[in-house]
Amino acid sequence: MMGYSHSISAAAAWLALNESGIIRIDDPATLAVTTLAAAGAGMLPDIDHHNGSIAHSIPPVSRWVVRLVAKISGGHRKGTHSLIGLAFFWVLALSANRLTYAGVPLLALALAGFAGGLALRTFRAPGGWAGALVVMAGTIYTNSFATMPWAILAGATAHIVGDALTTRGVNPFWPATLRPLVPSPLWRRSGYMALPVLGDAGSNRENIFSGLLASYVGLYALTILGITHLPPGELISQFISDR
Ligand SMILES: [Zn+2]
């Protein structure tokens, strides 16, 4: 999946978790800030990609970090795209949250600001440093420190699921390689697993899928802004029941 698709699917996943009641955020500002963080975290697993958005985000430091992560995690679509990678991102976000309550909010703010700034840049909104600062200020204003680790985890999980929908797939059990008895495109001899309904990364199918998710996020944004009163899922089910 491409960066934009990852961000939009992560934002959609976070909003869907909220709409379905699995996560409950009633305050619109908190929902907006955490959605931006989730969208940015949707690109986090590609911190192993030398030519990805993260590598280009804060040069030259980001390039060094990416090189180091790729070395530790075995290369692209390996460690950071596995259950271990998810656990790492989760622990990182959780530690940042704990530090905040110990009086040191710097790591949590840096994480939220970096993710949010990255998402804004991907969505072609004013991103970069200004976007990061706005998200940091938003995190403080809405006091969404406790919710951030969940947003980060949801975003990173959406990334791995997204890559699993493309031909190349992922190996969720890295560094272990579980080989199938009968290799197929769903579970290859390399241990990579996929449900390749979107075809190759960047395919037309992926673009259509991202477009649908973007419509969901856009409709939800109207709810957050108070323009519509029902989130998209409810709006559609009401529309259907009215027929
Ligand atoms: Zn990826």
Please write the tens of the pLDDT for every residue from 53-93: 899 988 899 999 999 999 999 999 999 999 999 999 999 99
Report yes or no on 183 lying in a domain: no
Of 114-118, 135-139, 223-227, minimum mean pLDDT range: 223-227
Output the six-digit token pair for 58: 């804060």
User: How much is the mean pLDDT over the chain?
Assistant: 93
SS3 content of the chain, % helix, strand, coil (to 5): 60, 0, 35
- Domain assignment present for residue 25? The answer is yes
pLDDT for 219 equals 94
Q: What does the block give as tokens for 71?
A: 């070395």
C-beta of residue 43 within 8 angstroms of C-beta of residue 118 = yes
Count the Cβ atoms, other than its own, within 10 Å of residue 52. Answer: 19
Q: How many structural domains does the chain have? A: 1
Average pLDDT over residues 42-52: 93
Distance 2 CA to ligand 1 centre (A): 8
What does the alpha-carbon distance between residue 134 and residue 11 come to, in Å, rounded to a whole number?
18
More confident residue, 243 or 43: 43
| Residue 133 counted as domain residue | yes
End-to-end CA distance of the chain: 37
User: Would residue 119 count as lying in a domain?
Assistant: yes
Give the position of tokens 């309904």: 197
Q: CA-to-CA distance for 113 and 104, rounded, in angstroms? A: 15
pLDDT at 108: 96
Burial 221-238 (b: 16+ CB within 10 A, else e): bebbeeeeeebbeebeee
Residues 6 or more apart whose Cβ sits within 8 Å of residue 200 = 166, 167, 168
Residue 27 within a domain:
yes
CA of 159 to the centre of ligand 1 (A): 6
Q: Which domain holds residue 114?
A: 3-177+189-242
DSSP alpha helix (H) spans, the chain: 3-19, 28-41, 61-72, 83-101, 106-122, 128-142, 148-164, 204-224, 232-242
Q: Is the pLDDT of residue 201 over 90?
A: no
Average pLDDT over residues 7-16: 97
Taking the alpha carbons of 175, 179, 183, 187 in that order, is the dihedral positive or negative?
negative
Tell me how far the alpha carbon of residue 87 lies from the centroid of ligand 1, in angstroms: 16
Cα 21 to ligand 1 centre (Å): 28
Cα 174 to ligand 1 centroid, rounded to whole Å: 14
3-state secondary structure of 217: helix
pLDDT for 230 = 83
C-alpha–C-alpha distance, residues 108 and 102, integer Å: 12
Taking the C-alpha atoms of residue 146 and residue 97, their distance in angstroms, rounded to an integer, is 6
Peptide bond into 180 cis (omega under 30): no
d(CA 142, CA 210): 29
Residue 182 included in any domain: no
Answer yes or no: is 184 within a domain: no
Percentage of residues in the chain with pLDDT exceeding 70?
A: 100
Residue 11 resides in a domain = yes
> 216 CA distance to ligand 1 centroid (A)?
22
How far, in Å, from the CA of 9 to the mean position of ligand 1? 13
How confident is the model at residue 125, as a pLDDT?
A: 86
Distance 6 CA to ligand 1 centre (A): 8
pLDDT at 228: 86
